[in-house]
Amino acid sequence: MDELIPEINSYLVTIFNEVLTIEEGALQNSTFKDISIKEMHTIEAIGMYGVHTTTEVSKKLAITVGTLTVSVNNLVKKGYVERIRNDNDRRVVKLGLTKKGRLLYRLHNKFHRDMVKETIEGLNKEEAEMLIKSLENLHVFLHRIKNNL
């Protein structure tokens, strides 16, 4: 198995870089030129449905509320995100996507769905489950490393 490590590592590094490059290029060559990849991930974390507090979104992104606030301020100005105040407690602010934000979310989500469909194309159920197990192992490893930083 050790002889496979360099090839697997090469694929993981290349895929990570290609996904970021493609996402950045797609944004720059679209009507959403004003969005950075970090802002796109903020939109993704806010989600298509429902509204979420800044604390919930910052936890999903593993960033501070202060860092998220800067990004949200820009996204509100650009018309992708809206702040929704609670009528009972005006201090409570939730984040939701505008119509423009939901459109961008759907386009980004389609890219990810298409990418996953291509990844599992030609795999049988057991092979797809093995891929899921491998990705789960990677996720656990990365989560452990992140928590030790």
pLDDT tens track of the chain, all 149 residues? Answer: 889 999 999 999 999 999 989 988 888 888 889 999 999 999 999 999 888 999 999 999 989 999 999 999 999 999 999 999 877 877 788 999 999 999 999 999 999 999 999 999 999 999 999 999 999 999 999 989 988 87
Q: Is 53 exposed, middle or buried (0-12, 13-18, 19+ CB in 10 A)?
A: middle
Taken in order of first residue, the domains within the chain and their CATH numbers are 38-147 (1.10.10.10)
Considering all CA atoms of the chain, what is the largest pairwise distance in Å, rounded to the nearest integer? 61
User: In terms of Cα–Cα distance, which of 7, 44, 49, 8 is closest to 23?
Assistant: 44
Four-point Cα dihedral 76, 106, 140, 22, nearest 10: -90
